[in-house]
Structure 1
């Protein structure tokens, strides 16, 4: 159940999507169909529910129509945390225990990067941010130096050297000849030997001699914070993100730009709908709450609050679920009795636990098609689908996409893509450095987004499996092979039961949730091996 969007119990779709054909649950009204291979190529029509396996109904009652998400405020989502609490935005106050004393020589990285942008321009600032990101990921020998733009002004070069001495003590700079043999450039690289910030508790992958820092490979957080951090505070700032009519990545991208952070700096349990009002938990490593609360005056449609310091950052899937409050408008129905019967049927029969259309993206290329390409190792095809023109996107951006598809001009696309297109820009930045290396380009996408594509394909398989299960057996009884929650409350995590039939009687054996997840992975592998 966790992290899964539920099919609207009344089986209504957004107005832009056609309603699938009505399907009865008895054997007479059902026609068996196998799980389909996702069609390749760019779609030019809106995604329908039947395209992603949503094809069965929980009852044969007559339906009715209405407008879902006519306004973004009609769809309200509150994340349910692991402790069962509802995530709401209730306070902009700073935590009582925030008293972070920053030493005189410590770096405020966001301010430093903004100063560097003014000193050297956007291109060099982007290069430096990417370099710092690679520093946070790899060991000393894994990070190649960067070369800043050619600079004939010796006085300006001196300013740049001084800037790095003042703000980034673990980096060194020198002046080298440009490839034309005439101009001069500044090279930026890591200072050899142990870095001061490492001894103070810096974090990163494959680090040696860092001690017990609690690093997990599935955590992708920014490590470039102040070297001084009070021991009485947790190393992660947790806050509640409230957003209106924006997807999670766009909202965090705006906050990251203001703080000078890369998208991967943020930890969160799951992405939330764009056309909605949503509230969820987010974490940042060694970040002061005072820096975020000051952003509320500048942010539009986004607010942050309910700050606290915790020991661990969030990763995908660390939630119990989501609570949806849905308003239906312009309801067309023959009589109120139809609505009453639908509600009674929902109470009695429940619903089919489908992943909704929002799980598969709003673009002309559904995210599950990209996920299928990634699982098959078709890196170039995945990149193409992400960068290709999209239905419903503004004309200026689609012109850039068309031009890139025809001419493959990476620099042109980078110059014209807006900064909120995080995925596209990350891919292009990597293709600029490694032309033709599409695997490298895919790996440049923030890890949470890469996982989103694969999870979308998993959702596609789940929907088809759920439809086949309902088509064959209905929903009124438990059958062999079902996974059944053994729980005391709707949000409780606990044991799962696998049912089997022995001599006409139903028996059950307990297994933990990880085993249930393993079974689903086997289903995924089985489907891929049948191609």
Structure 2
């Protein structure tokens, strides 16, 4: 889920209140507003590994070169996934026929043959099986394609394409031919190299091209693409399944992000070959290792966020722009210092609750309240005005609007039963939950339209969990606000702390379903986490001074947690029991269906930076101006000056400003924070920014008004939210405080 287009407290204060974000822990002389993500590169995210090292893109491609290499030939071993195929590369004379694994015949399970027969017909299914068997027996011989009967049902064709890819492990390629017929051909490995080369040279090249480790780790830089999309595109080029590409967590689409990934049985030159082929995706810094990267294998993220069009709210707003910038800097720096020392409330952010009219937490509330029909209707909720406009005036051409209009129209056509088939056809595939629901409810025509439970179960587990966890987060936010409102930083009897015998680091006590940017751990992994245990403090312990507000945790509702032994525990019962909140009982979170049962988790009441933050205010005139360089910008700047290779060498050997740095400890009393990671690449960055600023000033028109931009840099642990941090830093408008 993406964040709101612009973070502006005038626009988001009312929404914040509705999701329980009402309290602040940081004093601020005056609130201020600004626009976030005017450019996607205004929001930069760099992953922080478990070792505390900030991930940066250092080198592109092989030896720092960005020259496309068009091949993708993984090593063939006994446990190598069958879907990984060879492709051509000029000058490489490896031949697949030298590899005995290609000669082994893989038989298709009977149940898959039956499924394919039911879907595509007995004749076509048998022809596919024969094609697959013959192709394995003689992989280098060209096989005649097989063609299905013509079919008009576009949705059915899509299902057949997907099933063929799944059943035959991408060894059979399909396309749509005349009259809607499906054309299938065996994906034979390409004979590599030029004819006439000597065998000794061929064997030498073959040995050199093999991976030297099972897993190839690499740095992924992406711009305005979500992680799953990037992975799918890389897998498509490499001709592997997306599942063989691993990452520690997803990063938001509407940003420039850097993270480490791993792919199995792939050569570095194959991966380097995708550079220049995929828009918004760049890879580099290749390294072979024996283990893959796993979900959750990160400490957090480092952010460099540019907020443009900043304005003071209140009487100081009439001051000249340069004076406003100075006022804001003093104001914000003071707030950052306070946040560094005292922290802030660890709310779940806006993106946790979705961007549609009906929030994801509302859907989760309906599911937990056994109102399955209501939950389905909420998932398929639509704006009647937009749907009618899409039906009568057509779909806009702008990509940003096209999917939204199609979604509203599809939901309307389905729920009113005007044209169910068209609804399924036009529903954009990126709305995965809606697609799953529509297909399931129409699998047997009207007979299946009332199978609401089945439709919910048909949604992928990750998406289904998102609704339930959003409901938990909604309750947690309100409980945290109430706790701060009543007691602030004071520790009281009945507050919960993590049991001291637990050896798990405190950061692991945070919920594993945080923001897509900051805590990218998939909800699917929740059940694999070892749950922490908590206990309430006695009155003597609360008064002893041994515990601080940073030790306090609050539970997300579930059957495997306890609640505070004080009025906050009673708040859970009262709040969740209200009719508008589903009339739920926090002590009864098990359901007849395991899919809808929630164990709950403990989450720290307060959050803190991992390292010392910084802020800088600049004046500018053009919103398209790049105020802070990305890793890719720095590499390009180095190439222009010819310093790329030397900088990369120094970053590993001499430890200059480009060296990765470690973050400060998560817990501890004002330990010295390592600022190197916040200033990483400072020398190159300053050079780029100085050049851009000079050019901008020289070309600035006299009648173009000056604006103010803030560049905020900070590090957060996983399961923390950058938008919550910005809200604490920017404040609430006066009108929201009065409400």
| Structure 1 contact 264–446 (Cα < 8 Å) conserved | no
Matched, 1:415 2:408: no
Counterpart residue number, 1:83: 51
Partner of 1:385: 378
1:272 maps to what in 2?
251
The structure with more radius of gyration:
2
Match of 2:561 in 1: 522
1:248 lines up with 2:227 in the alignment:
yes
2:246–2:262 Cα contact (<8 Å) kept: yes
- Quickly say closer, same or farther: Cα 1:508–1:50, change in 2 above 3 A: closer
- 1:323 is paired with a residue of what secondary structure? strand
| 1:175–1:357 Cα change, 3 Å | closer
Q: Choose from 106, 109, 117 the match for 1:147.
A: 117
Q: Distance in 2 between matches of 1:485 and 1:84?
A: 25
For 1:126-151, what per-residue CA distance to the aligned partner results, in whole angstroms no more than 9, with x for missing partners? xxxxxxxxx9xxx9879962236667
How far off is 1:285 after superposition? 5.8
Q: Equivalents in 2 of 1:261, 1:231: separation in Å?
A: 15
Q: Cα deviations across residues 249-280 of structure 1 (Å, max 9, x unaligned)?
A: 44445445656777766654444333322233
Q: Does 1:483 align with 2:497?
A: yes
Does 2:487 align with 1:473?
Answer: yes
Residue 102 in 1 paired to residue 51 in 2? no
- Per the TM alignment, residue 162 of structure 1 is displaced from its structure 2 partner at its CA by 3.5
Q: Give CA deviations for 1:286-331 in whole Å, capped at 9, x if unaligned.
A: 666665544433322233444544535523x443222222222222
Shift of 1:49: 1.0
Tell me the distance in 2 between the aligned counterparts of 1:60 and 1:397.
43
Match runs of 1:78-477 below 5 Å: 78-93=46-61, 100-102=74-76, 109=83, 145-147=115-117, 160-166=128-134, 233-234=213-214, 238-255=217-234, 267-282=246-261, 292-307=271-286, 308-312=288-292, 314-315=294-295, 317-333=296-312, 334=316, 335-336=327-328, 337-389=330-382, 394-407=404-417, 411-433=421-443, 435-436=448-449, 437-475=451-489
Matched pairs, number: 415
Counterpart contact for 1:68–1:74, Cα < 8 Å: no
Structure 1 residues 506, 347: CA separation in 2 closer, same or farther (over 3 Å shift)? Answer: closer
Contact 1:320 1:491 in 2 (8 A): no
Equivalent-residue separation in structure 2 for 1:15 and 1:385 (angstroms): 27
Q: Once the two structures are superposed, what CA deviation does each residue of 1:209-239 show, in whole Å capped at 9, x if it has no partner?
A: xxxxxxxxxxxxxxxxx9xxx99744x6554
Q: Which residue of 2 aligns with 1:505?
A: 544
Distance 1:157 1:287 in 2: 32
CA RMSD of aligned residues (A): 5.4
SS in 2 for 1:109: coil
Name the SS of the counterpart of 1:274 in structure 2.
coil
Once structures 1 and 2 are overlaid, which stretch shifts more, 367-376 or 56-65?
367-376
Secondary structure of residue in 2 paired with 1:102: coil
Secondary structure in structure 2 of the residue aligned to 1:424: helix
TM-superposition CA deviations, 1:468-488 (whole Å, max 9, x none) = 11111113657652437999x
- Once the two structures are TM-superposed, the CA of residue 445 in structure 1 deviates from its matched residue by 3.4
CA distance 1:481–1:53, shift in 2 (3 Å): same
Structure 1 contact 273–358 (Cα < 8 Å) conserved: no
Contact 1:263–1:446, Cα closer than 8 Å, also in 2: no
1:50-75 Cα distance to aligned partner (Å, 9 max, x none): 12111101134333213141332222
What is the TM-score with the length of structure 2 in the denominator? 0.45
Q: Is the 8 A contact 1:239 1:306 kept in 2?
A: yes
- Say if 1:101 and 1:247 are closer, same or farther in 2 by CA, change over 3 A: closer
| Secondary structure in 1 matching 2:13 | coil
Which consecutive unaligned segments of at least 5 residues does structure 1 have?
22-47, 113-134, 179-184, 198-225
5+ residue gaps in structure 2?
A: 64-71, 87-107, 138-145, 151-156, 170-188, 190-209, 317-326, 387-400, 510-531, 564-571, 577-583, 589-739
Distance 1:273-1:107 versus aligned 2 partners, 3 A rule: closer
**Contact 1:500-1:506 at 8 Å conserved across structures:** no
Hey, what's the Cα distance between the residues in 2 that align with 1:469 and 1:513? 11
The structure where helix makes up a greater share of residues is 2
349-358 or 435-444, which deviates more:
435-444
One of 8, 24, 46 as aligned partner of 1:57:
24
Identify the range of structure 1 (521-530 vs 435-444) with the bigger mean alpha-carbon deviation: 521-530
Report the more deviating stretch, 382-391 or 73-82: 382-391
What is residue 696 of structure 2 aligned with on the other side?
A: none
Is 1:90–1:305's contact at 8 Å kept on the other side of the alignment?
yes
Is this contact kept in 2: 1:269–1:281, CA < 8 A?
yes
Report the Cα distance in structure 2 between the residues aligned to 1:448 and 1:320, rounded to whole angstroms.
22
- Answer whether contact 2:262 2:293 (CA < 8 A) is retained: yes
Distance in 2 between the 1:493 and 1:518 partners?
Answer: 18
Partner secondary structure for residue 339 of structure 1: helix
Q: Is the 8 A contact 2:476 2:555 kept in 1?
A: no
Distance 2:259 2:267 in 1: 19
